[in-house]
Each structure stands twice: as C-alpha cells, then as structure tokens.
A = this chain, B = another copy of it.
C-alpha cells in the first residue's frame, strides 16, 4: 500500500471501519461496516472514503496516488472471501458501486450494478445461476446503467431499443423476452454505445470498475445533487464515499426477494417491524413501481425462517443503535443479506412516541430522548394537518408562513371575514397583503393567504403569533377585489368558494381537503417535562392579549417577553380613541383621547397580570408609527371625520402629513414617547394602575416596562425618568408597592454599539432581532420578497435571515451588545423577543451567547423549550448564512 489509506474493507464478519465513521465512510459505508462487525450477513466489499473523493476533485478528477492499488488489493480480499474472481469467465464475481455521503441524499447520486459482466463472464454467470435469461437480463441492465451513468448515453435511447425488441416479438412485458432476445438486445445496446460515444463498450471488468467509481465520485457534483445540498444547507466540500460490494440477487427465483424494513412504524411510532418486499425482484423494480410490494407480515408466511432472521437482525441493530432503523435487504435463494442500515426518518407523531417509549423500554435515557425529536416537528404536533394520504388539487404554492391547515370559504376583506366569522362560518381571508387594519379579520378567519410578502411580512408574523395557518407570497395569485375573485392562471376562485391551506407546505388547495388532528397524547407532556430538566435558557412568550397569555402559560412559557401594547389598540371601540389621539391638534386634545384609552389598556393589563400571576410580563410601550392606525378606506375616513366633527380633508391632510417614505426608519418607538410624552405616560399609568389592582387581589405582579427603539442613552434617560415618575405617582395614589424593572429593546445597531452607555440606565435588554435584521442587512422584511427568495435559491444566503438568525452579522452585533451591556452592568438581564426566539438554530445561538431567555409566539414555546434543551445538551446546531 502506498500513501494515505483510502479503502476500508468489510469482509468475513470483520470491517476496517465502524458505524461512527460517517464522515470518512459515508452513512452507507459506516452502516455496512457496523453490520459486518455485528456478525450480520452483508455481501463483502469495501468502501472508498470521502477523503478519496475530495482528493479526486482536488486533483482535477483524477484518482489520488495509491487509490487504485488499494482498490485492487481490497478486491482481491473480497475474491478470496467469495471464492470467485472478478472477470473470471467461469466463476465471475460481480460488483456494485454505490455512492454514500455523510448524510443521506436519496436518489441524488449515482449507482452502477452488475459491474464485471462482458461477453465471457455473462456465460459464467449463466452457468453458475443455471439461468441464462437472468444472466443476459443482468448484462443488458448493466450496459444500460453503465452507459447512462458512466458514458452519458441517455437511458431513454436504451429504452427505445428495448421497446422495439418487444414490438418485433409482439409482446408488451420485458419478462416476455427470453435469453436469446436479451442477447440480441445486448448487441444492439453495445452498438448504440459505440455510435453515441465513438468507442466500443469497455469489456475489461477493471476498466468498468474504475470508470464506475469515478462516475460515482463525479455524481457528487451533478446539478440535482448540488441543488439538494443547497436546499438542505449541506456544504459542498464533504464529498461522497463509494461502496464497492459484491452483488447479490433478489431476482433469482421465488426463493429470492428484495425489500425495505423499519424497526418501528415511521408514521405512527408503533413498535413493530414495518416494511415491504417483492419476491423475485431487484431493488430497481421496487422503485419502478411496476409491481406492488407486499407488506412484511406476509413474508412471515412465505419464508418464516428468513423472516425470523430479519426480525432478529432488526432487533439486534435497534438495540445496538438505540434508534429506529431503516433497513434494506435482499434474499438470494433463501439466504438473507442486509444491504443497508441507517436511522430512519419519521413523522413528528412517531418521533415523539418512539422517544418516549424507548426511554420506558430502557433503550435510551431522557437526554437522548429529548434530542431525538426535531424541535420543528413539535410545532406540527400542535396544529391540524392536511391528511397526506388524501387526494387533492394543488392550485398554487406560496411560502408556508405559519403551520397547520385550514379549510374555509374565500373572503377578500377583513370586514367580510369578521361578518361571516361572527356567524360561525369558516372563512379564509385572501388579501394582496395584510395591514394592521386586517388584524380583526385575520382573527375571525381560519387561515390567511396573501399574494405578497415574505416569511416575516405582517401577515406572517401576526398569523404565527395567533397560531393561525397562513400562506404568504403566493405570487401566482392575482387578487381582484373589485371582481370578487382571485385568479391563478385561468382558474377563478370566487368569494364563497371553498379552499384549503396547507401551512406546512405552502400549498393552496382547491376545495376542501381532509384534515387530521394530531392528538396531544401524554407523550408530549412527558417529553417536554424531561426537556425542561436539562434546559438553562429561559423561554417566554410574546403575548398581547389575555387569550395569548393563557396560551403562553398552557405551552409552558415562563413569562411574557413581549407584550405589544399597540396590538391592543385595534379593538373596535379603541381604534376610534386611538385615531382621535393621533388627529389631536393640541396636547390637551391628545390627553382627552388618551384618557379614553386608559381604562381599556388598564383592563387588558389587569387580565394579563392575573393570568401571569408570579411570572414576569415585559410590556413594550407604543412602537409603530402613528399612521399605521389611521384609516385608509374612503368610507372609514368619512366615518372618522364625522365622529370627530372635522372635515374629511382634515383627516386626509393629517394622514398625508404623517405619511413616511420609510416607516421602518421613521417616527416610531421612543421617538413617539419623547415627542408626545403623554402617550407613554398614559400607558405607564395603565400598567401600574393594573399592577396595583392585581397586587391588591393577592397575586404577584412582575412588570417589566420596555422602551422601544432606543438608539442613544439620552432617549432612555428621558423616557425612563418620565415612566418612573408616573409609576411612583400611581403607587403613591394606590398605596401599593410593585417591584418592577425598566429596560429597553435593543433593535438598532447603534444601541448595540453604545450598549455600554445604555446599560447605565437599562435594567434589561431585549434584543429585537427582527428590526436588527432589517437594519443590519438594510433589508425591509416587507420588500424582501422581490429578491430574497432568489438569493436563497442561488445560495447567496443559506437561510432567510428573518427566519434563522444571521449569526455572522446580526448575531455578531448581538454579541457586541451583550458584551458591552454586561461590561457596564454585570447582572443585566438579556433576552430576545421576536420571530427568531422560536427558531431552533437561533435558540441554540441565544443559549451559546449567554442570553437569559428567548421569547416567541405561544405556539412556538414548546419548540423553543426543546431547542434550548438540545442546545444545553450540546446538540445545538450551527447556522451561518
């Protein structure tokens, strides 16, 4: 052997590698090695490492020095074990070459079977199998596959020749061709290859093998594989291993078969060997779907001994891997061979059940169990789902902005949604995009569908907050409100027509699809209880209403991390007072309008404080620009003008004067609190009047008053001083002491940069990573739809930064903010609120960067809890753009 070791044998019950060597041997190779070591029958062979592949590309698609020699040496060992020889005309050994990357990329890369066949060895195979038809069929398949994969002669051209052969003979099934027909076909196939490539088909088995290995390596970089890696955020520099394995056949008669098995039911999690098989078939027949496979239970009847053996291997493997496995096997003339083992994919329901049951069986411990369920899967468990087994027509596809599923009648306005929703009808609100005006309608609807906007557009954020199914950015949709319909191509969907939204996939479905509700069995509670034992990061919820607060507690939130007071402003009666306040032409008028709002805000806070008894509630003072609250529709403007006794023109003029070019960067947050201190004063008064009242009721109230959009120390000083004064006043009036914190939302880059100063005044920081993402990237989440999807498609960004926190940019800024803030105030309480708080990668980041808590939508709280646990257990995933 010369140079680096690239080739790892598995032969004679002993492998040079083992199951944990996935990086080196790929998933398949590691599985084969492990099974071999466990004494499970695996056709002997060897794995060429991923390092060889990486080196292959580094050297301009050349085998690295020594590799071929190592292959030949290993091949010789396999020959010895098999008692046959590669290329031997009498007793030929045949090989398969299969790709196998570190993680499974199903169907993306290439495989070549039956390597070693030529005009001589095919005769040997024929004699040995006493089955000439089988031998020639294998030979024909080999030329087709090798031609397609290695020589780039399109498979379709082989198919055409096959078709002609059947026509000539007047038959329809491949199986109706006999050995002679196939032999003739082999000649035609070889002639085809020669025509297409200008060279004769390689007869030398060693040349075949070498070319197959190279082709498998090259398939790492075929477009579909590259695209797959992009979609799944896998790096391009891993490379694939190549597994060279002696062939076994499931198509040598009715005592042969091929199949797949799961050690437990991957859909339900039930502990029972689950799978299917085909008698007298090869793997590709299963894939082709020409014959329908039988359930594994049937195999028990047909080949009881083999079945027992399979169950025994399955159990042994599950015990060994301590996880549910996905197995591939072949039975050649009554002998069982295992061809693959890997951890099986599973549904959310199954993942949960298996994790819990395996703990109960003593197979795994709690820490392992809580790492077994993907946090994202938890979200699905909390929502109804479109039955994947159902049949339905997908009309269009948008971005799956909020999970779950919803069926309802199409409506095009929030008013209509409220009207029909009030009558108990199920409606889907369809809008070009939503605005704060639509919040009531969204609430009344089962689901929301918009033509515009990204994953963090208004509709998306609000819907997720409500735990309501939502699809946004459905570009094919043209919403024609005037005509009372929306169109997708030539399909028109009228108001009142039924549609279904699949919020897990983004599919818009015509008509009513069947929905299933995943039951929240006791397993969910158990798993979450275990999760909380190993978690150090706090999890709070964003909750603006008493309903939200209740949901938050139900899902295990340890407080409210963000209560947006302005969301309380949109109630029917309130919005009028809010608008009066905004349109006020003097401080006195404004205070009059604010006085109307005070009891309403107080009442909300009273309820929320009661519900959150004993847990902290972070209340953010008014944040959005005032124009967001003003009416847009002509009828509304007229109504408001009448109510206020001013002219429509005055309302319009004021609205116009408040209009902003870039509202995101405008007159909002503490800038409002500073220019109109009476607004914040009213809100602080409402908070403390409520806090005093609920304290008197004997409950424990822990308010945390949060000033938004602070960029300078002075802004916080001014607003803090005012708030403290009002708080003091109210507590004096009420004769009650309420402990509270006063802090700020860190949502501007400048706030991170001067965090050391800001921490002089702030008792806590809550990073608003939505706005930070917008300002750090210079990216409006409402406008990103025109290029962000393209960026992700092209791999310019690995993730949508509004969904997964951008650790290099936004995360770096958060780190700077935390460091500088804690340098001034070591006990500074630091959290994040906003969308990222419920996204597992981002939660892991928050854990590692030392935050005290994350806060997210109530529905995402279990996701965040589980993600925080996994991060604490070291399973936190990295995510960089």
Mark each residue of chain A from 774 to 812: 1 if its CB lies under 8 Å from any CB of chain B, else 0. 111111101110110011001111000000001011101
CB A539 to nearest CB in B, in angstroms, measures 27
Q: Is the CB of B665 within 8 A of A753?
A: no
Query: A661 to chain B: which residues have CB within 8 Å?
Result: 663-664, 780, 782-783
Which A512-562 residues sit within 8 Å CB-CB of chain B?
none
A809/B662 contact (C-beta < 8 A), A783-B667, A796-B674 known: no
A712/B881 contact (C-beta < 8 A), A662-B665, A750-B809, A796-B718 known: yes
Q: Is the CB of A787 within 8 A of B671?
A: yes
**Residue in chain B with minimal CB distance to A881:** B712
Q: Is the CB of B790 within 8 A of A777?
A: no
**Residue in chain B with minimal CB distance to A812:** B753
How distant is the Cα of A776 from the Cα of B813 in the complex, in angstroms?
11
Query: A600 to chain B: which residues have CB within 8 Å?
Result: none
Q: Is the CB of A748 within 8 A of B776?
A: yes
**Does A507 touch B at the CB level, under 8 Å?**
no
**Does A754 touch B at the CB level, under 8 Å?**
yes
**Does A41 touch B at the CB level, under 8 Å?**
no
**Does A749 touch B at the CB level, under 8 Å?**
yes
Q: Is the CB of A783 within 8 A of B666?
A: yes
**Does A715 touch B at the CB level, under 8 Å?**
yes
**Residue in chain B with minimal CB distance to A795:** B714
Mark each residue of chain A from 686 to 712: 1 if its CB lies under 8 Å from any CB of chain B, else 0. 000000000000000000000001011
**Does A485 touch B at the CB level, under 8 Å?**
no
Among B747, B796, B810, the residue within 8 A (CB) of A712 is: B796
A791/B674 contact (C-beta < 8 A), A748-B778, A778-B748, A813-B753 known: yes
What does DSSP make chain A's interface, helix, strand, loop or mixed? helix
How distant is the Cα of A795 from the Cα of B794 in the complex, in angstroms?
47
Q: Is the CB of A777 within 8 A of B748?
A: yes
How distant is the Cα of A775 from the Cα of B747 in the complex, in angstroms?
11
Query: A34 to chain B: which residues have CB within 8 Å?
Result: none
Query: A776 to chain B: which residues have CB within 8 Å?
Result: 748-750, 753, 775
Query: A748 to chain B: which residues have CB within 8 Å?
Result: 776-778
How distant is the Cα of A777 from the Cα of B754 in the complex, in angstroms?
11
How distant is the Cα of A797 from the Cα of B750 in the complex, in angstroms?
13
CB A522 to nearest CB in B, in angstroms, measures 46
Mark each residue of chain A from 641 to 663: 1 if its CB lies under 8 Å from any CB of chain B, else 0. 00000000000000000001111
**Residue in chain B with minimal CB distance to A457:** B661
Query: A812 to chain B: which residues have CB within 8 Å?
Result: 753-754
A662/B782 contact (C-beta < 8 A), A667-B787, A787-B675 known: yes
How distant is the Cα of A780 from the Cα of B625 in the complex, in angstroms?
13
A662/B797 contact (C-beta < 8 A), A711-B778, A771-B778, A881-B712 known: no
Query: A757 to chain B: which residues have CB within 8 Å?
Result: 808
Query: A774 to chain B: which residues have CB within 8 Å?
Result: 662, 665
How distant is the Cα of A718 from the Cα of B795 in the complex, in angstroms?
11
Mark each residue of chain A from 746 to 770: 1 if its CB lies under 8 Å from any CB of chain B, else 0. 0111100110010000000000000
How distant is the Cα of A665 from the Cα of B778 in the complex, in angstroms?
5
Query: A810 to chain B: which residues have CB within 8 Å?
Result: 750
Q: Is the CB of B714 within 8 A of A780?
A: no
A775/B787 contact (C-beta < 8 A), A674-B796, A754-B808 known: no
Query: A783 to chain B: which residues have CB within 8 Å?
Result: 660-663, 665-667
CB A786 to nearest CB in B, in angstroms, measures 4
Q: Is the CB of B780 within 8 A of A665?
A: yes
A809/B779 contact (C-beta < 8 A), A675-B787, A749-B749, A796-B718 known: no
Query: A791 to chain B: which residues have CB within 8 Å?
Result: 674
Q: Is the CB of B749 within 8 A of A775?
A: yes
Query: A809 to chain B: which residues have CB within 8 Å?
Result: 711, 749-750, 753-754
CB A620 to nearest CB in B, in angstroms, measures 15
Q: Is the CB of A712 within 8 A of B775?
A: no
Interface centre among A662, A675, A780, A794 (most CB of B within 10 A): A662
A796/B714 contact (C-beta < 8 A), A749-B809, A813-B749 known: yes
Q: Is the CB of A674 within 8 A of B787?
A: yes
A712/B787 contact (C-beta < 8 A), A662-B780, A662-B782, A663-B662 known: no
CB A154 to nearest CB in B, in angstroms, measures 29
- Of all A-B residue pairs in the complex, the 8 with the closest CB atoms, nearest first, are A665-B780, A662-B780, A750-B809, A666-B783, A661-B782, A748-B778, A749-B749, A667-B786
Q: List 24 A-B contacts (CB under 8 A).
A: A661-B783, A662-B664, A662-B665, A664-B664, A665-B775, A666-B783, A666-B784, A667-B783, A667-B786, A667-B787, A674-B794, A711-B778, A711-B779, A712-B881, A714-B795, A714-B797, A747-B778, A748-B776, A748-B778, A749-B749, A749-B809, A753-B809, A753-B812, A775-B778
Q: List residues of A whose CB falls within 8 A of some B CB.
A: 660-667, 671, 674-675, 709, 711-712, 714-715, 718, 747-750, 753-754, 757, 771, 774-780, 782-784, 786-787, 790-791, 794-797, 806, 808-810, 812-813, 881
Given A714-B797, A749-B813, 20 additional A-B pairs, CB 8 A: A660-B782, A662-B664, A662-B782, A663-B783, A664-B780, A665-B665, A665-B774, A665-B778, A666-B780, A667-B786, A675-B786, A709-B778, A711-B779, A712-B796, A748-B777, A748-B778, A749-B749, A750-B806, A753-B776, A754-B809
